[in-house]
Amino acid sequence: MRTLAIYGAYFAQFLKARMAYRADFFAEVFATGLGSAASLAFVFVLFVPIDAIAGWSRDEILFVYGMSMIPYGLFATVSWNLFDFGDRFIIEGHFDRVLLRPVSSFAQVVFEAFRIQTLTESAIGVVVVTTAARRLELDLGLADVAWMVVAVLSGCAIFVAVFGTIASLSFHFEDRVGIAPPVFNLINAGRYPVDLFPNAVRFVLRWIIPFAFVAFYPSALPLHKDELRSFCMATPLVALVFLGVLAYAWRRGVRAYQSTGS
């Protein structure tokens, strides 16, 4: 509880500073929401002339797309420092002050900065999933809703694990950009049925950078895709495994860290 209170204080301080410029904040919220809506509109227009592809109907694909937006919005809220970690914390030496505090170094990095405006992505995702479910006439019971909550949390955990592990490489290789940008581009690939991609891409999205488990496989249960049920139920396990990889990689990285001396 003490640790949670500390993280709550992190958020409260950030929110106070952010609300000092409310017009700027709400402008960013609007711009982020507009960007998410534009991406969704592009997908909708792209699939308007297509009733189905690779055995997936247009509304099923929109359901998967909406499911991917929810965990991404949550992840993007705390992702800012992960993308900027090598430049800001390693090369500029800000990780020194992180190590001075008796709290998890990874949690400090993640909870030091927030992008609250990206929660609009999650909100739009909820609307898309609800609309697609209604059009598909899905009878979503309490168990389905509970599973979708588990899937969203697992998807968010997978994003954190993947990009946290990538950030940990900065302890060993000082690089301002790193490999995060090309991996980030794979997020969009995980928003569509993996059946659309060649076998090599499917393998990567399943077992190397498991973005297929963020939304595609978890959607199999509410969409009644029984042939994908085994992959679907493995989603929380995949999240736990990759969080374990993150924990190991981060500990190794912290041990290898050498201060800039500045």
Task: Quote the CA–CA distance of 116 and 167 in Å, as a whole number.
Answer: 21
| 201 inside domain | yes
- Residue 240 makes CB contacts below 8 A (sequence gap 6+) with 157
Q: Quote the pLDDT of residue 261.
A: 61
pTM of the model: 0.90
Q: Quote the pLDDT of residue 176.
A: 64
Task: Quote the CA–CA distance of 95 and 47 in Å, as a whole number.
Answer: 46
Range of the domain at 21: 2-256
| 7 inside domain | yes
Tokens of 177: 């950009």
164-199 confidence digits (pLDDT tens): 999 999 998 876 667 888 898 889 888 888 888 899
| 262 inside domain | no
Task: Say whether pLDDT at 209 is over 60.
Answer: yes
5-45 confidence digits (pLDDT tens): 878 887 888 888 777 777 877 787 777 778 777 777 776 67
If pLDDT is split at 50, 70 and 90, which confidence band does 218 have? very high
- Number of domains forming the structure of the chain: 1
Q: Quote the pLDDT of residue 91.
A: 87
| 35 inside domain | yes
Task: Say whether pLDDT at 253 is over 90.
Answer: yes
Alpha-helical regions (H) of the chain: 2-18, 22-47, 58-77, 80-83, 85, 95-99, 105-111, 119-135, 142-168, 180-189, 199-203, 229-233, 235-256
| 153 inside domain | yes
| 125 inside domain | yes
Task: Quote the CA–CA distance of 29 and 262 in Å, as a whole number.
Answer: 37
| 261 inside domain | no
If pLDDT is split at 50, 70 and 90, which confidence band does 48 have? low
3-state secondary structure (DSSP) of residue 55:
coil
> Which of 38 and 126 is assigned the larger pLDDT?
126
| 6 inside domain | yes
Q: Which residue has the tokens 């909820």?
A: 126
